[in-house]
Structure 1
Amino acid sequence: MSRLPPARNGDYPHPPSRRRPGGTAPSYAALGDLLEPTTTVLLTVECQEGVVGERGALPELAAEVRSSGALARIALLVDAARASGVQIVHAVAERRPDGRGAGRNARLFRAAERLPVRQLTSSAAVRVAAPVQVADEDLVVRRLHGLSPIQGTDVDALLRNLGCRTLIVTGVSANVAVPDAVFDAVNRGYTVVLPTDAVAGVPAGYTRAMIRHTLSLVATLATTDEVLTAFARGRPAAAPRPLRPG
């Protein structure tokens, strides 16, 4: 894998309860407490070929998530989380070819009907995109309506059945689905960890503003490297598991 663009969390405020003089990042010990594998789930949001793929429906977003290194970091987080025993859930947005059940009450939904690449059930567009890998034990949750990966889907019930307390949110976009996922998770009582360099939106400046001014108030911010370090500290690696197409 090519070298990723550098990412530092210094541009974002950290939660006051974890902040030390000088605004340094949460300690690995504190982050490690939140990321206990048996009570942590990692969620990828719309990391599908038709959204983040090179020939996806939204070229500007696909270019941003790739050029920023966010998609590559998501793949790193997924692999490390799986090796640490953390459950992975992939949230995919799709629609039936006939559009049955899909909403038309927002401009975004109506525009989706006219895009050259449509997120149709069973098509290549709704497969999880490389380099993110899907393993047999991963859960893939597909929604036919709405903006949120959580509201109105099976995700909340699955998280509760898994004993989840902390949800790591990654993916796209910082414009709509990622904030929705964070808000819905917090409203349902989960603690959210947001790797700030593993989410993307357009334009890039909007993503930074959304994180700084909104998501920092409700989520624990970290970098991919900080989360990877928390996974690695004292966590025995699991045996390799078979991967399957998204």
Structure 2
Amino acid sequence: MSLYEQLVAQLDPATTVLLTVECQEGVVGEDSALPELAAQARKSGVLANVARLVSAAHGAGVQVVHAVAERRADGRGANRNARLFRAAERLPVRQIVGSPAVRVAAPIEVAEEDFVVGRLHGLSPVAGTGVDALLRNLGCRDVVVVGVSANVAVPNAVFDLVNLGYGVVVAEDAVAGVPEEYVGAVMRHSLGLVARVVGAGEIWGVWERDSALGQGV
């Protein structure tokens, strides 16, 4: 069976969810709290690839879930048990609930049927966020993971999903991290051991074909 045939079997719109991770204005937008990461996501084409995958998912009837990181203005309930969390409290842009910083970043389009799930604590877009319950209620079997960053949140999402029994596909050129060369290393030496790692074009090729067939093209 070719890779394309394997992907067609695995990416059935009825049982697949596209999960975008922290693709929010305060992380990858023009006024990011993490300008190096935001610049890498944009100049490398990662953000554009995420946007096209989301568009292809919408066209094929694939459920999209956007996971965003946020915090209360008073910081209650947020972690402070790691250097990363303490550094976030000092950043000029803070991911406050309801603020522009937690909106899904352009050019990614959020459709009415999408879910936007915020988390107030921890490192994972999945554990303790309600995402697992949503996926199960949606009849999800496989999850396509994209977004930021390859350093922390994306690996957390992939490992949690695998531990929960989902099949996982990672679009390697729709994931950003710093330094840029680290992304390839984590794909080869970590995520590739537990998930199917492919190019974004291979995924949207399946979904865009499904969309075209559904429209009788």
TM-score normalised to structure 2 length: 0.96
State how far apart, in whole Å, the 1-side matches of 2:206 and 2:132 are.
25
Give how far 1:221 is off.
1.1
Contact 2:21 2:145 in 1 (8 A): yes
Contact 1:83 1:237 in 2 (8 A): no
1:161 to 111, 119, 137: 137
Give how far 1:164 is off.
0.4
Seen in structure 2, the aligned counterparts of structure 1 residues 33 and 73 have a Cα distance that, compared at 3 Å, is: same
Q: Secondary structure at the match of 1:76?
A: helix
State how far apart, in whole Å, the 1-side matches of 2:96 and 2:22 are.
13
Contact 2:66 2:116 in 1 (8 A): yes
* Equivalent residue, structure 2, for 1:205: 181
State how far apart, in whole Å, the 1-side matches of 2:125 and 2:109 are.
19
State how far apart, in whole Å, the 2-side matches of 1:203 and 1:67 are.
13
Give how far 1:235 is off.
3.9
TM-score normalised to structure 1 length: 0.85
Give how far 1:237 is off.
6.7
In the TM superposition, what are the counterparts of 1:1-246 in structure 2 within 5 Å? 27-236=3-212
Give how far 1:64 is off.
0.3
Moved over 6 A (4+): none
Structure 2 residue runs of 5 or longer lacking an equivalent are none
Give how far 1:236 is off.
4.4
Q: Secondary structure at the match of 1:221?
A: strand
Contact 2:28 2:37 in 1 (8 A): yes
Q: Secondary structure at the match of 2:165?
A: coil
Give how far 1:234 is off.
4.1
Contact 2:59 2:208 in 1 (8 A): no
State how far apart, in whole Å, the 2-side matches of 1:196 and 1:162 are.
25
Deviation digits for residues 209-241 of structure 1, max 9, x if unmatched? 1001111000101111111111133444779xx
State how far apart, in whole Å, the 1-side matches of 2:187 and 2:24 are.
22
State how far apart, in whole Å, the 2-side matches of 1:75 and 1:121 are.
23
Seen in structure 2, the aligned counterparts of structure 1 residues 238 and 59 have a Cα distance that, compared at 3 Å, is: farther
* Equivalent residue, structure 2, for 1:242: none
Deviation digits for residues 158-181 of structure 1, max 9, x if unmatched? 000000001000000000000000
Q: Secondary structure at the match of 1:38?
A: coil
Q: Secondary structure at the match of 2:95?
A: coil
State how far apart, in whole Å, the 1-side matches of 2:214 and 2:176 are.
29
State how far apart, in whole Å, the 2-side matches of 1:234 and 1:64 are.
31
User: What is the aligned residue count?
Assistant: 215
State how far apart, in whole Å, the 2-side matches of 1:198 and 1:238 are.
26
**Pairwise CA RMSD:** 1.3
Give how far 1:27 is off.
2.0
Instruction: Calculate percent identity across the aligned residue pairs.
Output: 65
Q: Secondary structure at the match of 1:157?
A: helix
